[in-house]
Amino acid sequence: MKVVTAAQMQALDRKTIEEIGIHGLILMENAGRGTAQVIMSQYHAELSGRGALIVAGPGNNGGDGFVIARHLVQAGFRAEVICLAVEEKFKGDALVNLEIIKQLRIPLAVCASEETLLDRGASFENAGVIVDALFGTGLGRPLEGRFARAVRYMNRSNAPVVAVDIASGLSADTGHVLGVAVKADITCSMALPKIGHVTWPGCDHTGKLHVIDIGIPDFLVENAEIECVAMGRHEFAALLMPRPNAGHKGTFGHLLVIGGSQGKTGAAALAVAGGLRSGAGLVTAVCARSSRTVLATKLTESMTLGVSETSEGTPSVRAVDEVISFAENKKAAVIGPGLGLLPETQDFTITIIKDLDMPVVADADALTAMASEMDMFSTGDNDNLILTPHPGEMARLMGCSVRDVQSDRIGSARRLAGITGAIVVLKGARTVTAAPDGRTCINLTGNSGMGSGGMGDVLSGIIGALLAQGYKPWDAARIGVCAHGLAGDMLASARGPWGWTAGDLARWLPRVWGSASRQGGK
């Protein structure tokens, strides 16, 4: 599912009007009529009881609201419009539709100041449905005055709120709240979802998302340079490759999990579990020699290889040749979970990542080691490398603060992918996967119950298993992230919103793959 910025959507609107010749009035009519149909289908009882309140702002979003009011009235429902701008502020298509509702004598109150809006509080309290048609995707500054007060009125109301295109007060490009923002129950997005709908915290203000076909030709969307997609259950299922019926453990690849040192064997074990339960034919845990017995006790279905270690029980640089030799004919590797952060172990980590001739997932301690060796990326030739940082690790890699990362998650992931030449998976709510060429995927699965230790280790194992089975790094990363979140969603549905562990999630993975197969994956 493609998702767009405000500028990309404006460009599509402009091409539709100027190059194709579809008048803007038609687009506005389609937008308003489509939204009115959603409102009538979802809130028929509320409309029949108390009617609708349309809160219109000074622009085309307000124009959409006028069309919505007209269609609701023509369908036999009561509708009232509160307009937060004087008529002189309207022009073009929005002005045409304002004149129409005036001619139809649809109740219209103009509140051009905060004081006049105070007199309309009862309208918000008494409405059956409220339609937020204040501001669309072009908003770039915090809401103040009467606009902010109108948002607070909508949020305090007991009526369901339907946002037109995007909840007023949200940035369409980042999902950030600009001062104050509407908490919508439903959002009707025009033509395509916007990035602000699917990223955090915008997704928390969007409610259920409906996409309205307003008449923009499909070929314009296909030809547009839209690099960002959102991925959920259905997209995930369609990307799975067929698994041959005559396949055996050699068919599905041998994954190495390089990690596990004294006191940190659990992280490696969880990565192994993620790999085994995501279809890898064989998995070997490569760990510090003194941790091999502990790790072998934890793991039944995988193999273990103990390698030379430091005096503190972490892999030593002396183990590099051992690992490289053992890795011959293996298909993919995960490096980092529980590996350790001694300088010698960090040297081991960097050397292994450089020398392994296979796709590699770098996670956890490997990312910390790489943060101090960013010149290793100077060649930009890292198309077989996947980095899976959480925001703290991302900040170290980028040399910035966590706040900087979180303020622009998509931009941060894209920048690191560009710097390193690797695929970047920026973990967190609505995980972002970015490629060096600008492709970006926002994951729609997962929940806060996954906020516990070890979840990232399982994810690295999932992605590693997909690499071992022959998936390209871009697909392995975004499929793995989506599957990981789906397992969490299934657990939340079956066992409650939290209290389950990373090990529980790993055990749930076969259900995810089975569910995907039933939806059309193989």
Question: In which residue are the tokens 């910025």 written?
Answer: 5
Cross-strand pairs, 433: 425, 441
Q: Is the dihedral of CA 329, 367, 233, 497 positive or negative?
A: positive
Helix H or strand E segment including 387? strand 385-387
pLDDT (tens, 9 = 90+) of the chain, 522 residues, equals 999 999 999 999 999 999 999 999 999 999 999 999 999 999 999 999 999 999 999 999 999 999 999 999 999 999 999 999 999 999 999 999 999 999 999 999 999 999 999 989 999 999 999 999 999 999 999 999 999 999 999 999 999 999 999 999 999 999 999 999 999 999 999 999 999 999 999 999 999 999 999 999 999 999 999 999 999 988 999 999 999 999 999 999 999 999 999 889 999 999 999 999 999 999 999 999 999 999 999 999 999 999 999 999 999 999 999 999 999 999 999 999 999 999 999 999 999 999 999 999 999 999 999 999 999 998 778 999 999 999 999 999 999 999 999 999 999 999 999 999 999 999 999 999 999 999 999 999 999 999 999 999 999 999 999 999 999 999 999 999 999 999 999 999 999 999 999 999 999 999 999 988 766 544
Question: In which residue are the tokens 């002396």 written?
Answer: 318
Cross-strand pairs, 332: 255
User: 398 near 412, Cβ under 8 Å?
Assistant: yes
Closest CA to 335 of 410, 256, 398: 256
Q: What is the pLDDT of residues 212-270, one digit of tens each?
A: 999 999 999 999 999 999 999 889 999 999 999 999 999 999 999 999 998 899 999 99
DSSP 3-state assignment of 39? helix
Residue 511, Cα to own-chain centre: how many angstroms?
A: 22
- Residue 321 has a pLDDT of 97
User: 258 near 283, Cβ under 8 Å?
Assistant: no
Closest CA to 439 of 230, 210, 292, 222: 230
Domain ranges of the chain: 6-226, 235-519
Q: Could you confirm whether domain 6-226 is CATH 3.40.50.10260?
A: yes
SS (H, E, C) 179-242: CCCCCCCEEEEECCCEHHHHCCCHHHHHCEEEEECCCCCHHHHHHCCCCEEEECHHHHHHHCCC
Helix H or strand E segment including 510? helix 502-519
- Residue 518 has a pLDDT of 65
- Residue 521 has a pLDDT of 47
Closest CA to 253 of 335, 320, 334: 334
The CA distance from 121 to 26, in Å, is 33
User: 360 near 333, Cβ under 8 Å?
Assistant: yes
The CA distance from 266 to 259, in Å, is 10
- Supply the CATH classification number for the domain 235-519: 3.40.1190.20
- The DSSP line for 77-111 is --EEEEESS-GGG--HHHHHHHHHHHHTT--EEE-
User: 263 near 37, Cβ under 8 Å?
Assistant: no
Q: Do domains 6-226 and 235-519 have the same CATH topology?
A: no
Output the CA–CA distances (angstroms, integers) from residue 114 to 53, 84, 167, in the order listed.
18, 9, 20
- Residue 352 has a pLDDT of 97
- Residue 520 has a pLDDT of 52
User: 160 near 46, Cβ under 8 Å?
Assistant: yes
